[in-house]
A and B are shown apart, each in its own frame.
Chain A
Amino acid sequence: MNIDEFLPSGIQLSYLVAASLFILGLKKLGSPATARQGNQSAAIGMLLAVVATMLDRQVLSYEVILIGIAIGSAIGAIAAYKVEMTAMPQMVGIFNGLGGAASALVAIAEFWRVLNAGEFLSVTSLVTILLGILIGGITLTGSFVAFAKLQGIMPGAPIQFPLQQVFNAIILIGFLAGSGYFLFVPGNLPVFFGLVGVSLLLGILFVIPIGGGDMPVVISLLNSYSGLAAAAAGFVVNNNMLIIAGALVGASGIILTNVMCKGMNRSLANVLFAAFGSEAAASGSSAAGQSLGTMKSIDSEEGAMMLGYARSIAIVPGYGMAVAQAQHAVRELADQLESMGVEVKYAIHPVAGRMPGHMNVLLAEANVPYTQLYDMEDINPQFDQTDVALVIGANDVVNPAARHDKGSPIYGMPILEVDKAKHTIVIKRGMGTGFSGVQNELFFQDKTMMLFGSAKDVVAQLAAEVKQL
C-alpha cells in the first residue's frame, strides 16, 4: 500500500481517535476531579484533527492556513488570559459568534469554489449550504447582540416595535421563498447574497426583544446553534468530524438551555417571545410599591453576633455579590466563622449568575472549595436545621411568594427556601425590587434582619466584628 492510498484512511482514522478524545473529554468534564484532564483531552483531539486535515489532498498550500492559525491563536490566548471571570458570559457569547461566523464562511467559500469550478450543485448540496449560512449567520449576529446587552453597550431592556412578530415572520418567509428560488437558479448571486444578509438580520431580530436578564438562556441556546452551524458546515464539506463535534456541542447547549429555563420556571418560548422585564410592575398581591409590613434593620455588630454564635450558617450569594466584587470578602468572613467552629455552606441557585454555573466559578476564583458549594436540591431540605441564612445580593431566588402567591409573576419558580432557616440576614444595597420587579415578602418577615449597604463593605465589617467576638 503506497502513501497515496494510505493517507485518506489515515486521516479518517485520526478523526475517529479525535472524536473519541472529544467524547472522553466531555465525560471527564462531568466531575470536578477530572475536569481539567477532560478539557486537555478535548484540546489534544482538536490538535490531532487539525494536523490530520492539513494532510488532506485538497490542501495544497500551507502559508495562508498557518498565518491564519497564528493570528487566531495569539488573539485567542490573549483573550483567554485577560478576561475577568465576571465577564465569562460575554466571552462565551463572542466565541459562539466567531464559531458561527466561521461555519457560515465555510459554507459560502465552498459554494463559491464549486460554482467557479463549474461542478454540478445538487439540491442536497444547496440545501446544506443554505442551512450552514442560516444557522451560522443567526449565531454570529445573535451572539454579538447578546454580547452588547451583557456588556452594557446596548440597553438591556427588550427592544420592541409594533407588529414585531409579523415582521419577523415575513422576513423568515422571505428567506424560505428566496431559498426555493435559489435551488432552481443556484447561479443567481444577488439572491445568494440577499439570503446571507437576511440570515444576519434574523440573528439581530431574534435577540433584541429578549431582556438582559434572560441573556444566560440566549447564550446557552446560541452555544447550541454554534454546534449545529459546525455540523451543517460538516454536511457541506462532507466531513464526519465536523458533524460529530457539532452534534455534541448542539446537544450540550440544548441541555444547558433547558436547565436555565427550569431554574426560572419558564418555557423556552416564553423566554424568547415574551419580552420579560419590559413592564416594571406586575399585578398580584405583592406588586412593587405595595408595603408588606415593616423591615427590621440591624447593624453589622448585631449581625456579627448572630453569625458568630450560630452552629451552622448557609450563605446565599446572588449576582449582586459578584457585581460588588465581594467574593473575596465573603470567603474571608467564612474562614473566620469556620475557625470559630461554625459550619459554613454555600447555597447556589441554578440562575444565580449570568450563565449556567457562573456563581460556582466566581466563588472558585475566590478560593472557596467546591465541596462547600451546595445545589438547590441538596441544600433546601437542610435549611430548617440552619441557624442563620446569609443572603448577599440575591432577591427573586429567595422570594417565598414563588411557592404560594399565584398572582406573582415568579409563581412556581424554584427557590432557595431560606425562610425555613431559624434566622435570615439579608445584605442589600437599598429597598429596590429584584429583576422581576416584585417586592420580596421575605424581607418583611419577623425573623428576617436587613443589613443595608454595599455587599463588599458590609461583609468586610462583619468579618472585622466577628474577629472581635
Chain B
Amino acid sequence: MSGATLITCLFVFVLSSFVGFELINKVPPTLHTPLMSGANAISGIAVLGAILVSGSEDLTLSVILGFVAVVLATINVVGGFLVTDRMLLMFKKKEVKA
C-alpha cells in the first residue's frame, strides 16, 4: 500500500465516521436495539474482504482462512438483518385486536 492510497483511505474513514455520528445521534432510544443489530449486520461487510481472499483457484491456507471468514461474516450479515426485521415487525403504532 502506498502512502497516497493510505491517505485516501483515511479520508474515507474519517468522513464516514462523521456521517455515522450525525445519522445515529438522532435515533430515539426506542429503536436502539434494532439500530444496534442492524449496524451489527452491516459490520459483516468483512464478507467482501473474505470473498476477495478466498476467490483464488489454488487451495492455499489463504483460501481456507477466507472460507471460514465467509461463513462467519455471512452468519453475521444474514442473521443480523433477519433478526432486525423480526424485531421491527413487532413495533406497531396501534394495537391490532385479535
Contacts and interface: CB of A to CB of B under 8 A. Distances in A.
A68 B70 contact: yes
A16 B67 CA distance: 26
Interface in B35-90: 35-57, 60-63, 65-90
B70 A72 contact: yes
B65 A109 contact: yes
Contacts of B18: 251
Interface in B5-35: 5-6, 9, 12-14, 16-21, 23-35
A196 B59 CA distance: 23
Contacts of A49: 45, 48
A122 B62 contact: no
Nearest to B48: A53
Interface of B: 1-3, 5-6, 9, 12-14, 16-21, 23-57, 60-63, 65-96
A288 to B, nearest CB: 30
A215 B57 CA distance: 43
Contacts of B94: 369, 371
A25 interface: yes
Contacts of A231: 13
**Counting chain B CB atoms within 10 Å of each CB, which of A42, A62, A81 scores highest?**
A42
B62 A109 contact: yes
Interface stretch (A175-183, A204-212, A235-243, A400-408): A235-243
A76 B76 contact: yes
Contacts of A234: 9, 13, 49
Contacts of B25: 255
30 contacts: A23-B19, A26-B24, A30-B31, A32-B91, A35-B91, A39-B84, A61-B56, A62-B55, A64-B55, A68-B68, A99-B76, A105-B72, A109-B63, A227-B39, A237-B52, A238-B1, A240-B9, A244-B12, A245-B43, A247-B13, A248-B16, A248-B17, A249-B42, A251-B16, A251-B19, A357-B35, A360-B30, A367-B90, A367-B95, A370-B30
Given A50-B48, A105-B69, A249 B31 contact: no
A71 B71 contact: yes
A29 B46 contact: no
A133 to B, nearest CB: 12
Nearest to A68: B70
Given A46-B44, A375-B29, 4 more contacts: A35-B91, A60-B55, A102-B72, A247-B12
A360 B38 contact: no
A80 B27 CA distance: 23
Given A46-B81, A109-B65, A252 B55 contact: no
B16 A244 contact: yes
A46 B93 contact: no
A356 B85 contact: no
Contacts of A102: 44, 46-47, 49-50, 69-70, 72-73, 76
Nearest to B44: A99
A96 interface: yes
A72 to B, nearest CB: 3
A106 B78 contact: no
B13 A243 contact: yes
A357 B62 contact: no
Contacts of B3: 124
Interface stretch (A110-118, A310-318, A429-437): A110-118
Contact of A360 (B5, B29, B57, B95): B29
Contact of A96 (B2, B43, B63, B69): B43
Nearest to B23: A26
B29 A370 contact: no
B81 A50 contact: no
Interface stretch (A84-92, A153-161, A164-172, A277-285): A84-92
